[in-house]
Amino acid sequence: MHELIDLVPKIWRRVIPNCDSILIEIEGNLASDRALGSKILPSQDLIFSALEIDPSSVSVLIVGQDPYPNSEHAIGRAFAVRKSVSKPPPSLRNILKERQRDVQGKAPDLDLQQWHDQGVLLLNRTLTTRSGESNSHKDYGWAKFTGEIIQYLASQEIPALLWGNEAGKFKDFFGERALISAHPSPLSAHRGFFGSRPFSQINNILQKPIKW
């Protein structure tokens, strides 16, 4: 039994070329980590929580990097954390700050469930990491898996918010439906993320605006 394969919603498995073989490779890499005693985040049941949206219901794609390296924050959706967290991580804090400047109104909970429920796919390029080590699984095969999802959504003419250099690599797939800016992390937010008004801009593209 391949546990990762069983966890992916079947409807996503049907739209991802070579899904099973990619996940078998990833599962082998994760098994090696576990054999060395490494704790993997997020927990197994949350790895694919971003994909709890039917592909046909996705309205906007937001691309992140990898899970937060602590269990309090890592919930399987890019940038989101548990809504009970008392202090959001810096990137999420900057996203919500720009959101307030851009569209105002009541902010979403920190788990961004409100966005998820409206079809906003919060997809990290890498879906797991070792506890305490950011980006430690970037070469485990996840880039193939999420790259196929991103390209599929581009083919369905879904608009995308591409923040930072890594996400920006997909701009050609989305064409005019890509909104590109600096990453919201403290290292780069002041170099083009703040003031980019991504939320109102993406709503101008959509037939049904998101309540950000």
Q: What is the CATH number of the domain that holds 128?
A: 3.40.470.10
Whether pTM exceeds 0.85: yes
Residue 55: name the closest of 179, 149, 161, 122 by CA: 149
Query: pLDDT (tens digit, 0 to 9) for every residue of the chain, 212 residues total?
Result: 468 999 999 999 999 999 999 999 999 999 999 999 999 999 999 999 999 999 999 999 999 999 999 999 999 999 999 999 999 999 999 999 999 999 999 999 999 999 999 999 999 999 999 999 999 999 999 999 999 999 999 999 999 999 999 899 999 999 999 999 999 999 999 999 999 999 999 999 998 999 99
Burial of 102 (0-12, 13-18, 19+ CB in 10 A): middle
Residue range(s) defining the domain that contains residue 151: 3-205
Number of residues assigned to the chain: 212
Domain assignment of residue 212, yes or no? no
Domain annotation covers residue 127:
yes
In 5-17, which positions are buried (b, 16+ CB within 10 angstroms) versus exposed (e)?
beebeeebeeebe
**Alpha-carbon distances of 101 from 88, 106, 169, rounded to whole Å:** 18, 12, 27
Largest CA-CA distance found in the chain, in angstroms, rounded: 49
Does 210 map to a domain? no
Residue 211, domain member (yes or no): no
Q: Which residues have a catalytic role annotated?
A: 66
In 3D space, the residue among 68, 75, 103, 64 whose CA is nearest the CA of residue 89 turns out to be 68
Query: Strand 120-124 vs strand 60-64: parallel, antiparallel, or unpaired?
Result: parallel
**pLDDT in the model for residue 2:** 61
Number of domain units in the chain: 1
Phi, psi of 103, rounded to the nearest 5 degrees: -120, -10
Q: What is the pLDDT of residue 3?
A: 85
Q: Is residue 35 part of a domain?
A: yes
